[in-house]
Amino acid sequence: MSSLASKKEISAEDLADLRKAVRLLENQGFTRLLNNVAGKPAGKALEFVPRRLKNKIDKIVSGALKQGLQLALASLDGKDAAPPKKITSTLISSLAGGLSGFFGLAGLAAELPVTLTVMLRSIAEIARSQGEDLSLLPARLACMEVLALGAPVEEKHDQSSYYLARDEFSRFSGNAAEALSGRGVDAARSPEVNGFLGQVGAKFGVVVWERAAASSVPIIGVAGGAAGNALFIRYFQDLATGHFIVRKLERAYGEAIVRARFMDIFASLY
């Protein structure tokens, strides 16, 4: 069977879902989203935040991700079939972000683990809605992988930013899954798991940094933090929706066929 014939096996309904996924995943980055919503100053806010805060934010992100991994391994419910509660998650995250905006970096240290917990539960709901079995370790780690999809990548108009990011961290995901499968929670401090968390943290931390910088633009304090956090969580909800649509279609048609059709759609749109 030719490659072209194989591509045509995907149903019209599933192709529509894949087009939706391409639009959600081939994003322009969180800062550009903020620019579209709040205007150009949101993107320029990064220039005015002291760089010395970057290391502090990285430490906050690292600690939050370790808590997030424990959540993913221990308490994401794989049986609850309720539809995703995106609005509820966004409201909770907005309130937490408001506190962060009011108290600054100290508030971020307290707020980010709360926001990440809300986000991971929302991502898990989205995953289940696309047929993921969260009793399986790879599916749970895939929820964590969503956090690595949000950072901007070097613009390459002939390449998918989604697949560039996914290819980059797939090896780390596989190593972490193998370690956790073999040693359970005892592997949480292993080099394999730390490598996975480091890879996710490096990507996720970029967006946290952007959100922290933008929390004071165009309005300062509580309102700015709340608005930024609302966009923040919806940004990752959209990425999760696209990611798990792709994974659903891969289970149905195989990774190679879905990737080929994804790239066809990407080429036609971009």
Q: Which amino acid is at 93?
A: S
pLDDT band at 80 (very low <50, low <70, confident <90, very high): low
Contact assessment for residue 145 and residue 234, using Cβ atoms and an 8 Å cutoff:
no
Q: How many CB atoms lie within 10 A of CB 232?
A: 28
Please state, in angstroms and rounded to a whole number, the distance separating the CA atoms of residues 133 and 124: 10
Q: Which two tokens stand for residue 249?
A: 């279609």
Q: How many CB atoms lie within 10 A of CB 221?
A: 14
Provide the pLDDT for residue 10. 93
Provide the pLDDT for residue 6. 46
How far out from the chain centre does Cα 130 lie? 16
Using a 10 angstrom Cβ sphere, with 0-12 exposed, 13-18 middle and 19 or more buried, the burial of residue 34 is: buried
Q: Which two tokens stand for residue 65?
A: 């991700």
For every residue of 45-90, DSSP letters joined together read GGGGS-THHHHHHHHHHHHHHHHHHHHHHHT--SS--PPP-HHHHH
Q: Which two tokens stand for residue 78?
A: 């794989």
pTM attached to this predicted model:
0.81
Using a 10 angstrom Cβ sphere, with 0-12 exposed, 13-18 middle and 19 or more buried, the burial of residue 147 is: buried
More confident residue, 108 or 46: 108
Lowest mean pLDDT segment, chosen from 62-76, 152-166, 196-210, 249-263? 152-166
More confident residue, 238 or 211: 238
Provide the pLDDT for residue 38. 52
Provide the pLDDT for residue 155. 59
Residue 211: helix, strand or coil by DSSP?
helix
